[in-house]
Amino acid sequence: MNTSFDLVIIGSGPGGYVCAIRAAQLGLKTALVEKAKLGGTCLNVGCIPSKALLDSSEHFYTATKHFSEHGIDLASAPVVNLKQMISRKQKVVDQTVDGVKFLMDKNKVEVVYGLGSFESANVVKVTAEDGSTRMLEAKNIVIATGSEPGNLPFIKLDGERVITSTEALELKEVPKNLIVIGGGVIGLELGSVYARLGSEVQVIEFADRIIPGMDGSMSKELTKSLKKIGVQFYTSHQVQSVERKAKAKTVQVKAKDSKGQELSFEGDYCLVSVGRKPFTSGLALEKAGLKTDDKGRIAVNEHLQTEQAHIYAIGDVVRGAMLAHKAEEEGILVAEYMAGQKPHIDYNLIPNVVYTWPEVAGVGQTEEQLKASGRAYKAGSFPIRALGRARASMDIDGLVKVLADAQTDEVLGVHIISARAADMIAEAVVAMEFRASAEDISRISHAHPTYMEAVKEAALDATGKRALHM
């Protein structure tokens, strides 16, 4: 049994396991410590299971609402089999987790199951479920312990009726009335799942719009689209109380609007999706001379080093967007930095995606950020409904917006709400990585008929209002 490693990583989410692969590729003897299942939040209770349910529920919704228009008549109305839907989701998760185990074996990364905690700045103690312990000596250590669901101080989560995203991925019935607290990514994705399956969904959001971090026009369009599937929105509402009577099947939520008027909501389930918080409990950071900041994060420099230069921290447990692909990039960066390379991440070019339908995706600066910074910019946009491809598939909601520097024409931000926006945003990321101008994008041939044509048209619109099909 090995006791000494070049690198010990604590946490096997997308940050930790990708870091392990890259470190192994670079010849570092690596151990990966995990207290639960390989793959972390993302694979087990985050990205993958939520997308599995989003896809299943979208199929159901399409079959119910659009098949007949496509000329497909079903002998009887489709019925939701939630048990099967959840079990298919679990199969997808299990296969993906097995895939990570395969990758660890292939790259000769030693996986050590148990809770990792610091014994000292160079020793990680791993306590297995049966209480046995193992000491791992490490030249370098990466903390990749991720995050857990956040909550409001006055809400008592009971895991049955007042739930987080984790339980929402495992429900045994389709809620009749689902109250969602928080109109961010997770609330809207899981709210969409159940709205499509027939729940009446009410979203309460403190800010004056949903997905407040994204470009304002995206939030406006998404509100319109989600209203079409029956989701009701209460923005600028501050939740005051969430109460479930003992053993009762109803939850009462009280919220105040911006004028102080109180509204009362009643549902059989309440999903609390008010963000996530960094997870560091059990790590015994103090034994390594480390501490967390006022937001519970581990402070790091531009190389993701903590106060102890050989201890790094990555992913949801440090500053920045809580996204799987951001955690992965950071995992790669620290492995390469340790190996003597000079890697770099441009955080401005980490795309943000919401997997509702239509999907929303953005990269770079929003129009609100450009206005606030005083930078002179020009904007071009193009409606998805003007595309032949969109009409053929009947997914006509949405738009593409391209923001470019007023003088140089360099693309500063691209924001898309459309079917397949999550994939479409890659063109914008590549263009911006190469510091393309809006005109560069507008001169690239885009296959016809595709949704991607909207990116070219929006770029044409940004360069002198030259869109062709508008």
Active-site residue numbers?
448
146 binds ligand FAD (CB under 6 A): yes
329 binds ligand FAD (CB under 6 A): no
CB of 262 to ligand FAD, least distance (A): 30
Q: Tell me how far apart the alpha carbons of residues 98 and 340 are, in angstroms, rounded to a whole number.
A: 31
Which one of 57, 96, 140, 145 is in contact with ligand FAD (CB under 6 A)? 145
Which one of 5, 7, 8, 15 is in contact with ligand FAD (CB under 6 A)? 15
Q: Return the number of the residue (222 or 390) whose C-beta is nearest ligand FAD.
A: 222
Residues contacting ligand FAD: total by CB under 6 A:
37
CA 209-242-218 angle, to 5 degrees, is 15
191 binds ligand FAD (CB under 6 A): no
CB of 287 to ligand FAD, least distance (A): 13
Count the helix, strand and coil residues of the chain and give each as a percent rounded to the nearest 5.
35, 25, 40
Q: Give Cα separations from 343 to 334, 392, 406 (angstroms).
A: 8, 44, 31
Q: Return the number of the residue (34 or 221) whose C-beta is nearest ligand FAD.
A: 34
Residue 361's nearest CA partner among 372, 349, 370, 369 is 349
332 binds ligand FAD (CB under 6 A): no
Element (H, E) at 41: helix 40-45
16 binds ligand FAD (CB under 6 A): yes
Residues 6+ apart with CB under 8 A from 252: 241, 242, 243, 244, 264, 265, 266
Which one of 2, 3, 36, 468 is in contact with ligand FAD (CB under 6 A)? 36
DSSP conformation class of 231 = -
Instruction: List the beta bridge partners of residue 30.
Output: 7
What is the contact mask toward ligand FAD in residues 38 to 57, using x (rule: CB under 6 A)? --xxx--xxx--x-------
CB of 175 to ligand FAD, least distance (A): 16
What is the contact mask toward ligand FAD in residues 372 to 411, using x (rule: CB under 6 A)? ----------------------------------------
285 binds ligand FAD (CB under 6 A): no
Q: Which residues of 270-291 are buried (b: 16+ CB within 10 A; e: fewer)?
A: bbbbbebbbbbeebbbeebebe
Tell the residue number behind the tokens 């000329």, with chain if given: 71
CB of 325 to ligand FAD, least distance (A): 5
424 binds ligand FAD (CB under 6 A): no
Q: Tell me how far apart the alpha carbons of residues 445 and 93 are, in angstroms, rounded to a whole number.
A: 38
362 binds ligand FAD (CB under 6 A): no
Residue 123's nearest CA partner among 36, 281, 10 is 10
Which one of 23, 24, 35, 357 is in contact with ligand FAD (CB under 6 A)? 35
Q: Are 171 and 193 in contact (CB under 8 A)?
A: no
356 binds ligand FAD (CB under 6 A): no
Stretch that binds ligand FAD, among 141-149, 214-222, 241-249, 378-386 (CB under 6 A): 141-149
Q: Tell me how far apart the alpha carbons of residues 404 and 376 are, in angstroms, rounded to a whole number.
A: 9
CB of 384 to ligand FAD, least distance (A): 21
322 binds ligand FAD (CB under 6 A): yes
Q: Are 181 and 308 in contact (CB under 8 A)?
A: no
274 binds ligand FAD (CB under 6 A): no
Q: Tell me how far apart the alpha carbons of residues 358 and 366 are, in angstroms, rounded to a whole number.
A: 19
Q: Return the number of the residue (128 or 309) whose C-beta is nearest ligand FAD.
A: 128
182 binds ligand FAD (CB under 6 A): no
Residues 6+ apart with CB under 8 A from 71: none
Burial of 440 (0-12, 13-18, 19+ CB in 10 A): middle
Which one of 222, 231, 285, 327 is in contact with ligand FAD (CB under 6 A)? 327
Binding site for ligand FAD (CB under 6 A): 10-16, 33-36, 40-42, 45-47, 50, 115-116, 144-147, 165, 186, 279, 282-283, 315-316, 322-325, 327, 355
